[in-house]
Amino acid sequence: MPAGSCLCGAVRFEVAGELSQIELCHCVKCRKAYGAAFASTLYARIDDFRWLAGERSVATFDAPAESRPPAYRHCFCRTCGSPLPLVLEGLPLVELPAATFDDAIEARPRYHMFVAQKSEWLEIADSLERHHGPSPFSGKVLRTLL
């Protein structure tokens, strides 16, 4: 049962069930929210996810929708600012930042998405599939968990 945490250790969580493959998102909002060239996230069923400590330390930022919905939601630790799992209200899934796991996970990157928005200084050197916008696999990857 892989567990994860934030940088300061105040927030901890675990996932009991199957994890999706990892998606690498290069959209501007993910790059800014993660402070990195891309966000690496994966998904689990909400019923398989559990906060172990610090749930009250989880803050949520909702960026406004720009030209059209949806808006962008990002969760992070109030103390250290680390990205944290995003529990999507009304949906059966939780989005998990891959780098927050403390334990080894079997999930591996599946594709890059929003490569049209990638940082100009980043050279993608792997052979993963690339999508200029959202991945056509996102729904397929998520459906494997449902």
* Cβ atoms of residues 94 and 75 within 8 Å: no
pTM of the predicted protein model: 0.89
Q: What average pLDDT does the structure give for the chain?
A: 90
- Comparing C-alpha atoms, which of 51, 44, 54 is closest to residue 80? 54
Q: Give the tens place of pLDDT for each residue, 96-106.
A: 999 999 999 99
- Over residues 69-83, the mean pLDDT reads 88
pLDDT confidence tier of residue 89, bands split at 50, 70 and 90: confident
Q: What is the DSSP letter of 38?
A: S
- Over residues 46-57, the mean pLDDT reads 97
- Over residues 4-29, the mean pLDDT reads 96
Q: Give the tens place of pLDDT for each residue, 122-139.
A: 999 999 999 998 877 555
- Comparing C-alpha atoms, which of 39, 40, 15 is closest to residue 28? 39
Q: What is the pLDDT of residue 65?
A: 67
Burial of 37 (0-12, 13-18, 19+ CB in 10 A): middle
Indicate if the alpha-carbon torsion angle 77, 117, 40, 89 is positive or negative: positive
Indicate whether 64 pLDDT > 90. no
CA–CA separation, 53 and 12 (whole Å): 5
- Over residues 72-91, the mean pLDDT reads 92
Burial of 45 (0-12, 13-18, 19+ CB in 10 A): middle
Ranges of each domain in the chain: 3-143
Indicate whether 81 pLDDT > 90. yes
User: What percent of the chain shows pLDDT beyond 90?
Assistant: 78
Indicate whether 90 pLDDT > 70. yes
* Cβ atoms of residues 77 and 10 within 8 Å: yes
* Cβ atoms of residues 52 and 13 within 8 Å: yes
Indicate whether 48 pLDDT > 70. yes
CATH topology of domain 3-143: 2.170.150
- Comparing C-alpha atoms, which of 100, 115, 28 is closest to residue 58? 100
Q: What is the pLDDT of residue 104?
A: 96
